């Protein structure tokens, strides 16, 4: 296949982790005879510094004309310290979601056997974790009218949802559940919020009509936050609105041991976008220490979306070989510590099928790399 990928590295460690994902994509291209074309664009604080805009028109144009967007990370401490800044890196991310119509954000959370010991939770609780969060991404309080009263002492953020906005993401969540364990949990605050009651009515009707084989249950968001810690293994597909999904997906992402491992996909009416869940980790930028696996797994989700199932599985298998041999970036507290770029090189060479004989692995483990 021939595919055009818009690459938006963004801020902080974004460029470093993206570089590794591209190495891995090139290894896949070689092995499976595909051609990937990369068009780079500016986004976030880097884009503000160079153009004044967090999402320059050119970046949006490139994204719209590509088959997918591979996104690094955005955010810079100089803006985090100033919540009143008029132009902010986050606006670039929200604008690209809105302009590409990315209404469905998919965040899988799965326990890796070799990392379970680093979870803040007990091993027995984490071992069965295999859930995916479907977060609505272009509606709700994030995109509602917001403002301040004239004298500045009152502020508001409007939350609204239309039935169609709920139905389209619910369809995606139910379709995913059918390929998994046939269970959807709708998370809302229907005991208080009218938008949540609309979510319940809409999702209940849709489930009865189109997905009778999928079991649907409901949790209030406060209880869901508790259940994700107490018994995360109970979840298969979690379906929820924009802000609840933002909060719960951060919570869920840390229970498996490293946030540096979790990918995401945002799909919608136009080009889809793939990005790691972690942020721009400015303290680690330029040091070649970041964990690129979340971004590499995001690239695997992109291939999966194009129907390249074997290719995606080859990436996941490559990562398993890497982890099972005790390699890892420093956040994984591995037996054999590698840098971000060494991690990309090693996973790419595993994928290319370069025979990784024991001698080579031992040399690598002793820090005397022959491959990298």
Q: Cβ-count burial of 26 within 10 angstroms (0-12 exposed, 13-18 middle, 19+ buried)?
A: middle
Q: Kindly name the residue from 142, 161, 211, 281 that is annotated as catalytic.
A: 142
Q: What is the DSSP letter of 285?
A: T
Q: What is the distance between the alpha carbons of residues 351 and 275, in angstroms, rounded to a whole number?
A: 21
Query: Is residue 82 among the annotated active site residues?
Result: no
Catalytic site residue 250?
Answer: yes
Residue listed under structure tokens 């302009």: 99
Q: How far is the CB of 357 from ligand IPM (least distance, A)?
A: 41
User: Pick the catalytic residue: 222, 287, 317, 333?
Assistant: 222
Q: Using CB under 5 A as the criterion, what x/- string covers residues 269-308 for binding Mg ion?
A: ----------------------------------------
Scored b (16 or more CB within 10 A) or e, 172-182 reads bbbebbeeeee
Q: How far is the CB of 245 from Mg ion (least distance, A)?
A: 8
State the Cα–Cα distance between residues 271 and 354, nearest whole angstrom.
34
Other CB atoms within a 10 A radius of the CB of residue 94 amount to 16
Which residues in the 83-102 window bind ligand IPM by CB under 6 A? 90, 93
261 contacts 277 by C-beta, under 8 angstroms: no
Binding residue count for Mg ion, defined by CB under 5 A: 1
Binding-site member from 246, 288, 304, 330 for Mg ion (CB under 5 A): 246
Q: CB count, 10 Å around CB of 338? A: 25
Residue 275 Cβ, how far from ligand IPM at the closest point, in Å? 8
The minimum distance between CB 192 and Mg ion, in angstroms, equals 22
Segments in 179-240 forming alpha helices (H): 194-210, 221-230
State which residue, 67 or 246, has the beta carbon closest to Mg ion.
Answer: 246
Query: Is 189 annotated in the active site?
Result: yes
Using CB distances below 5 to 8 A depending on partner kind, what does residue 330 bind out of Mg ion, ligand IPM, none? none
| Residue of 67, 130, 250, 320 with catalytic role | 250
Rounded distance between C-alpha atoms, residue 273 and residue 275, angstroms: 7
Binding partner selected for residue 177 from ligand IPM, Mg ion, none, CB under the kind-specific 5 to 8 Å limit? none
Beta bridge partners of 157: 146
Closest residue to bound Mg ion by CB: 246
d(CA 302, CA 228): 27
228 binds, among Mg ion, ligand IPM, none (CB under 5 to 8 A by kind): none
354 torsion bin: left (phi>0), alpha (psi -120 to 50), beta (else): beta
90 binds, among Mg ion, ligand IPM, none (CB under 5 to 8 A by kind): ligand IPM
- Catalytic site includes residue 288: no
Q: Please report how close the Cβ of residue 321 comes to ligand IPM at its closest, in angstroms.
A: 30
Shortest distance, CB of residue 250 to ligand IPM, whole angstroms? 7
Q: Where does residue 109 fall: left (phi above 0), alpha (psi -120 to 50 degrees), or beta otherwise? A: beta
Cα–Cα distance, 91 to 94 (Å, whole number): 5
Structure tokens at 50: 């160079």
Q: Which is nearer to ligand IPM, 26 or 90 (CB)?
A: 90
Q: How far is the CB of 245 from ligand IPM (least distance, A)?
A: 8
Residue 142 bears catalytic tag: yes
User: Binder to ligand IPM among 210, 246, 251, 304 (CB under 6 A)?
Assistant: 246
* Residue from 80, 210, 246, 288 carrying the catalytic annotation: 246
Closest to ligand IPM by CB, 60 or 350: 60
Q: Which residue among 4, 98, 189, 360 is the active-site one?
A: 189
Work out whether 251 is an interface residue with ligand IPM (CB under 6 A): no
Contact assessment for residue 276 and residue 299, using Cβ atoms and an 8 Å cutoff? no
Residues 101-130 that bind ligand IPM (CB under 6 A): none
CB-neighbour burial class of residue 280 (10 A; exposed 0-12, middle 13-18, buried 19+): buried
Q: Which is nearer to Mg ion, 246 or 251 (CB)?
A: 246
Q: Rounded distance, CA 174 to CA 182, Å?
A: 8
Residues identified as active-site: 142, 189, 222, 246, 250
Q: Which residues bind Mg ion (CB under 5 A)?
A: 246
Footprint on this chain of ligand IPM (rule: CB under 6 A): 90, 93, 246
């Amino acid at each position: 296949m021939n595919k055009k990928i818009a690459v938006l590295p963004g801020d902080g460690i974004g460029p470093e982790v993206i570089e590794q994902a591209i190495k891995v994509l090139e290894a896949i291209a070689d092995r499976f005879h595909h051609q990937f074309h990369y068009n780079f664009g500016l986004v976030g604080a880097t884009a503000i510094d160079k153009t004044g805009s967090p999402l320059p028109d050119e970046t949006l144009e490139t994204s719209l004309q590509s088959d997918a967007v591979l996104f690094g990370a955005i955010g810079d401490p100089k803006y985090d310290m100033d919540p009143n800044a008029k132009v902010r890196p986050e606006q670039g991310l929200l604008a690209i979601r809105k302009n590409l119509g990315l209404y469905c954000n998919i965040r899988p959370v799965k326990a890796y056997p070799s990392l379970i010991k680093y979870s803040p939770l007990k091993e027995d609780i984490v071992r069965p974790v295999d859930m995916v969060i479907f977060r609505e991404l272009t509606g709700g309080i994030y995109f509602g009218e917001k403002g301040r009263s004239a004298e500045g002492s009152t502020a508001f953020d409007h939350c609204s949802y239309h039935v169609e906005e709920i139905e389209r993401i619910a369809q995606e969540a139910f379709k995913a559940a059918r390929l998994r364990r046939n269970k959807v949990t709708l998370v809302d605050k229907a005991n208080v919020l009218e938008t949540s009651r609309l979510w319940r009515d809409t999702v209940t009707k849709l489930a009865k009509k189109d997905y009778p084989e999928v079991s649907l249950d409901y949790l209030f968001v406060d209880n869901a936050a508790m259940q994700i810690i107490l018994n995360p293994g109970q979840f298969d597909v979690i379906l929820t609105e924009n802000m609840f999904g933002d909060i719960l997906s951060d919570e869920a992402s840390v229970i498996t041991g490293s946030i540096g491992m979790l990918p995401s996909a945002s799909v919608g009416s136009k080009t889809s976008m793939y990005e790691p869940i972690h942020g721009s980790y400015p303290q680690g930028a330029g040091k070649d220490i970041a964990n690129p696996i979340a971004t590499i797994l995001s690239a695997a989700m992109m291939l999966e979306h194009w129907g390249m199932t074997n290719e995606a599985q080859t990436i996941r298998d490559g990562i398993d070989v890497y982890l099972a041999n005790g390699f890892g970036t420093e956040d994984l507290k591995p037996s054999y510590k590698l840098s971000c770029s060494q991690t990309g090189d090693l996973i790419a060479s595993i994928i290319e099928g370069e025979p990784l004989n024991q001698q080579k692995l031992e040399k690598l483990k002793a820090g005397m790399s022959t491959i990298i």
